[in-house]
Amino acid sequence: MNLATFMEKITLVTHNKGKIAEANELAKRFDIEFVMSETSKKLEIQAENLSDVSEFAARNAFVVERGPLLIEDSGLFVKSLNGFPGVYSAQAFAQIGNAGILKLMEETKDRDAYFECALSFFDGKTMKTFVERVSGSIIFEEKGRYGFGYDPIFSPEGYNGKSFGEVQIAGKNGISHRSKAFEAFCKWYLDEKR
């Protein structure tokens, strides 16, 4: 007899394998698996907040996917930089990277920052977006070999200066912006299906 649990598969349109890994580690307890789309691309518009970016991208990807999908847009918001890189996080990471952010903050005492995640589900009719944050600070040097993006320079509240780059996926998922958004999505989705 096959006792394998039935896993619900949902398309996540992203090119970022780190996002898929974090989302799947979290979603396994809901018997949900996120599958990277091979057919569509996330089209990112320039907007003032992450949810506008993710909702636009979700509608756009649906034209190709023709089925239920998720898009996730995240960003790092640094208080002393007036919220930069924020909605420009992907471009800033590509252009100046973690070293560039640290350089911009060399003389800065106020290190407050947060990560935000906007996760949008769209099935052609229903658009549902979950926005979550994790607060913390920008440390003074890159630390750790786990995670991706800005993880080596961000220390969440209560971590005593340890960066997200120094913890494995399960640890980051205990408090991250992404895990909170995906958890809220999984609960909502399973509830909707009942």
Of 132, 48, 55, 134, give the one whose Cα is nearest residue 86.
48
The residue from 26, 37, 40, 75 that contacts ligand ITT (CB under 6 A) is 75
Question: CA 16 to CA 146: how far, in whole Å?
Answer: 14
Q: Does 15 bind ligand ITT (CB under 6 A)?
A: yes
Shortest distance (Å) from residue 2 CB to ligand ITT: 34
The catalytic position among 31, 52, 73, 191 is: 73
* 14 binds ligand ITT per the rule CB under 6 A: yes
**CB 51, min distance to ligand ITT, A:** 12
Vertex 26 angle, CA 25 and 27, to 5°: 100
Which tokens in the block code for residue 179?
């895990």
Reported in sequence order, the residue ranges of the chain that DSSP labels E, i.e. its strands, are: 8-12, 32-36, 69-78, 112-122, 127-138, 154-156
Residues 126-185 within binding reach of ligand ITT (CB under 6 A): 147-151, 164, 178
65 scored as a contact of ligand ITT (CB under 6 A): no
Residue from 186, 172, 191 nearest 74 by CA: 172
Identify whether 73 is a catalytic site residue: yes
Q: Determine contact, residues 67/77, Cβ cutoff 8 Å.
A: no
Which of 141/192 has CB closer to ligand ITT?
A: 141
Determine how β-strand 69-78 pairs with β-strand 32-36. Answer: unpaired
Which is closer to ligand ITT, CB of 32 or CB of 117?
117
Provide the annotated active-site residues: 73
Chain positions contacting ligand ITT, by CB under 6 A:
14-16, 19, 42, 72-75, 89-90, 93, 115, 147-151, 164, 178
